[in-house]
Amino acid sequence: MNQSKVIIYTDGACKGNPGIGGYGAILKYQDKIKKISGTEANTTNNRMELTAVIEALKSLKRPCHIDIFTDSQYVQKGITQWIINWKVKNWAKVKNVDLWQALDHEASKHQINWHWVRGHNGDLMNEQADALANLAIAQFMA
């Protein structure tokens, strides 16, 4: 099977924690770029970080090879390290379990390399994902 190579940058933001949240994602495939964003009225930053990745993965139409870049160590370590024990312990005491299970489901459809990038450190695509999340919040609040 010839899978497509996709690069995804995601970010979540929250005004208040909990508060009004937004997420943004940029998907790049060959020379095509797709931007997605959204908001939630009463949420947390971690939930928006997770939602950004979930929504990006849900927008893909077929299995892909993906490089995902996130500035959330919560997301990167959660999906690559912590999730193993969470499953063994049947998700006991896991915060945001609904989103972790959704992310696990969506991620299982693809071959993913997870990358952490330092936020607000000049990475152009990360800055654009952050801008999308914050723009979504601003539009929600307007």
Whichever domain contains 119, its CATH number is 3.30.420.10
pLDDT digits (tens, 9 = 90+) for 24-83: 999 999 999 999 999 999 999 999 999 999 999 999 999 999 999 999 999 999 999 999
Write out the catalytic residue numbers. Answer: 11-12, 49, 71, 120, 130
Which pLDDT score is estimated for 129? 97
Identify each DSSP E strand in the chain by its residue range.
Answer: 4-16, 19-29, 32-43, 64-70, 111-116
Range of the domain at 21: 4-141
- Specify the pLDDT at position 4: 75
| pLDDT, position 119 | 86
What is the domain count for the chain? Answer: 1
Q: Are 38 and 55 in contact (CB under 8 A)?
A: yes
